[in-house]
Amino acid sequence: MFLPLSYPLFRGLWICTLIANFGAWMHSVGAVWLMTTLTSSTLMIALVQTATTLPVFLFSIPAGIYADHVSKAKFLFMTQIYIASVALIMGVFTFIHWTTPGILLILTFLLNVGIALRMPTWQAAASELVSSDELPLATSINNMNYNIGRTLGPFIAGLIISHCGVGYVFTLNAISLSGSIAFFYRWSCQAKTTYQKGEKLNFTHSFLKLIHEIKKSTDFLIILIRTVIVYLSTSALWALLAVIAKQHDYSVNEFAWMMGCLGVGAILTPFLLQLLRSYIKPLILIDCATLLFVICQAMLIYIYSFYIICIILILAGISWAILLSTLNAQAQGSFQKNMRAKAIAVYLVVFYAALSLGSVIWGKMAESDLAMSLYFPGIFFIIGLVFLKIISKRMKSIYFQPEVE
């Protein structure tokens, strides 16, 4: 399983990614918790999630198009410097008490613009550092890397915030990127040119061509509708978890444990997913996982035992990881291999758009009734499934498992 780590460049990238993942998840906990101390508005707290996901919706496709026309190592070097700079500014502003709810949202948005620009290039760079035969193993190792960061990062953040303050978390995130900055600088000095410098980049032409190809696939369009329904229904928990913690009078440490439990669920998922896939069709598995998630989501406001809440969040983390990986695979499986990269780019745009919109909708609803903002997404999901079944029949239903080469 760990054979890809025998490649020096991939091993270096993997270590840098692990450290950066710790910093990113620590930063995420810090930003949300800081907002809860700056304002009692549930909408403003939920907008932290929107500021996190909206940049991916806006910039992932342009970044993916641009990534093929530049040196990946140099581009990643510049984006890492940008992200570290914004994180450091957030730390300084927090130390000197200049951070307001508006400034926090703006800086969170700017930070995630850098992450959105980096995302497709980072993934493409990782795939170039191993042989094609070992790419599935490399992907698995990268997923493990991400899940370790999302599980342990929040725990560390809780300890630092409770003993030192949020400013230290932001600053440590900036410091955590120093290793990857040095790595990409060295790589950019050694890398050979793998792109055409003279090739003219036309964003408009490339984007319109992509949309034209996507519109040909009825199957994929239905998957995008399902994506909107699923992630609108599940976005409330991510947007309002800090509000729920405040509602129960939990400390930042307990909130960090809640975030970490979602990561624990994701780590447990690979052990269950293979078994479930052998008995349940993929789209039915997505629906069942989403249903479990919205049930867990609705229960959080009515359960007062912290330990039971942690168990519920572990179940939510498992269901989230199942629907995420299965829906991703279905999106890719709707196209031939030469179209899958473009398909996943469009899928990610719709995915993050739904998360961003859901955060605003449920955050606004939570201002008047927090309980309703947590159980109404489940009702929306059931209605959405009925709508999907009707529209699927009209658009040549895709409620079957596409053949994945």
Question: For the segment 275-309, what is each residue's pLDDT rounded down to a tens digit?
Answer: 888 889 988 999 999 999 999 999 998 899 999 99
Token pair recorded at residue 301: 């406001």
Residues 244-251 have a mean pLDDT of 95
Instruction: Supply the angle between the helices 72-95 and 166-176 in degrees, to the nearest 10.
Output: 160
CATH pick for 1-193 out of 1.10.10.10, 3.40.140.10, 3.30.565.10, 1.20.1250.20? 1.20.1250.20
Mean per-residue pLDDT, 206-222: 76
Domain ranges in the chain are: 1-193, 208-394
What's the pLDDT score for residue 286? 94
Predicted confidence at residue 228, as pLDDT, reads: 96
The more confident residue out of 340 and 70 is 70
Residue with more model confidence, 334 or 328: 328
Q: Which of 281, 258, 297 is nearest to 380 (CA)?
A: 297
Nearest to 362 by CA among 378, 382, 376: 376
Global confidence as pTM? 0.87
Structure confidence by residue, pLDDT tens digits, 7-41: 888 898 899 889 999 999 999 999 999 999 999 99
What's the CA angle centered on 80, arms 101 and 163, to 5 degrees? 50
Q: What is the mean pLDDT of residues 350-358?
A: 94
Closest to 34 (Cα-Cα) out of 153, 152, 177, 160: 160
* 313 within 8 A of 262, measured Cβ to Cβ: yes
At 137-151, the pLDDT tens digits run 777 677 778 888 989
- Domains 1-193 and 208-394 in one fold: yes
Mean pLDDT computed over every residue of the chain: 87
Question: What per-residue confidence (pLDDT) applies to 401?
Answer: 47
Fold of 208-394: Growth Hormone; Chain: A; (1.20.1250)
**pLDDT for 340 beyond 90:** no
